[in-house]
Amino acid sequence: NDSANVATTKVPEGVAGAPNEAALLALMARTGYSMIQENGQRKYGGPPPGWEGLHPPRGCEVFVGKIPRDVYEDELVPVFESVGRIYEMRLMMDFDGKNRGYAFVMLLGVCCSVDNCRLFIGGIPKMKKREEILEEIAKVTEGVLDVIVYASAADKMKNRGFAFVEYESHRAAAMARRKLMPGRIQLWGHQIAVDWAEPEIDVDEDVMETVKILYVRNLMIETTEDTIKKVFGQFNPGCVERVKKIRDYAFVHFTTREDAIHAMNNLNGVELEGSCLEVTLAKPVDKE
């Protein structure tokens, strides 16, 4: 007999006499979570039933504001359960039994979404220059900030048949992606392919501050490792340890970070054997 069980189980403080007591008891019965009110907040879980792990790390708790004063855990929990398992929810309460309009919800883990503002567009005629591509894309989509185009390794007068388009916001990029979907629009009479660009890997600032390798792109196929070593080592003899060139890009290893920064600042945008260099600090590859 369920009603007999409820009667023999002591109803927790803060739940007993609540305007929606029955709904809160039903929630506790469904999930197995405890609920108690203390210090002006009603706590659901913390920890969840059967929990044996550590307390979730920093960054797992969200603030929830503008909650209607007559909405409680029986309605809030299902909303937050839909995105992940709840560790605890703390709903701020008033003396009259209504909530104070805000809560804190802690989930078991955190997974950051990527605010991607960049699209990959393929199927671009190889003779088109960056300015022409920018002009054409800006005609058919809104919020274009920049277009990144790479020259063909074999012929620097041609592009590689694709471009990356940077938009002012994720929303602008999403709208553009929808508009450029195959079959909806053609550029220069060509069918194009569109997708989200792979987001750039975020490397910790502390890690980046130790990097002493330069990434050099847009080299001529004919440019040799010896030539690259000579050009990048011109500011301080012996500062370049080694060069690894692959087709039209290379990694230049320096003995010190200072030498790497100095070479980058002096050689980015400089022409070498007929091609304009793009020089940046190399991002370390995750060993995992």
Query: What is the rounded CA–CA span in Å between residue 143 and residue 163?
Result: 16
Output the six-digit token pair for 195: 């997708």
Say what percent of the chain tops pLDDT 70.
93
Query: Tokens 């060993």 sit at which residue?
Result: 287
Name which CATH class applies to 205-281. Answer: alpha beta
What confidence score (pLDDT) does residue 252 get?
A: 97
Q: Among 81, 83, 82, 102, which residue's Cα sits nearest to residue 91?
A: 102
Query: How do residues 233-283 score in pLDDT, each as one tens digit?
Result: 999 999 999 999 998 999 999 999 999 999 999 999 999 998 899 999 998
Distances (CA, A) of 112 to 119, 239, 258: 20, 40, 34
Helix (H, G, I), strand (E, B) or coil at 183: coil
What confidence score (pLDDT) does residue 7 get?
A: 43
Sequence ranges of the domains in the chain: 2-107, 118-196, 205-281
Name which CATH class applies to 118-196. Answer: alpha beta
Residue 72 near residue 91, CB atoms below 8 Å: yes
CATH superfamily membership of 2-107: RRM (RNA recognition motif) domain (3.30.70.330)
Query: How do residues 65-89 score in pLDDT, each as one tens digit?
Result: 999 999 999 999 999 998 889 999 9
Instruction: Judge if 2-107 and 118-196 fold alike in CATH terms.
Output: yes
Q: Which stretch of 1-10, 115-124, 263-272 has the lowest confidence by average pLDDT?
A: 1-10
Residue 154 near residue 114, CB atoms below 8 Å: no
Query: How do residues 127-185 score in pLDDT, each as one tens digit?
Result: 999 999 999 999 999 999 999 998 888 888 899 999 999 999 999 999 999 999 877 88
Write the burial class of residue 111 (CB in 10 Å: 0-12 exposed, 13-18 middle, 19+ buried). Answer: exposed
Output the six-digit token pair for 251: 């990694």
- Asked whether the CA dihedral 110, 67, 94, 15 is positive or negative, the reply is negative
Over residues 187-216, the mean pLDDT reads 85
Q: Which stretch of 35-49, 53-67, 146-160, 187-201 has the lowest confidence by average pLDDT?
A: 187-201
Q: Give residue 3's pLDDT band: very low, low, confident or very high (50, 70, 90).
A: very low
Residue 194 near residue 121, CB atoms below 8 Å: yes
Distances (CA, A) of 202 to 112, 114, 149, 205, 286: 12, 10, 22, 9, 11
What confidence score (pLDDT) does residue 286 get?
A: 56
Query: What is the rounded CA–CA span in Å between residue 173 and residue 78?
Result: 31
What confidence score (pLDDT) does residue 72 get?
A: 97
Query: How do residues 11-44 score in pLDDT, each as one tens digit?
Result: 998 899 899 999 999 999 999 999 999 999 999 9
Asked if residue 284 has a cis previous peptide bond (ω within 30° of 0), the answer is no
Distances (CA, A) of 124 to 55, 66, 149: 51, 48, 10
Crossing angle of helices 225-232/257-267, nearest 10°?
100
pTM: 0.52
Residue 156 makes CB contacts below 8 A (sequence gap 6+) with 218, 220, 274, 275
Q: In what order do the strands lie in the sheet with 159-167?
A: 144-151, 159-167, 118-122, 193-196
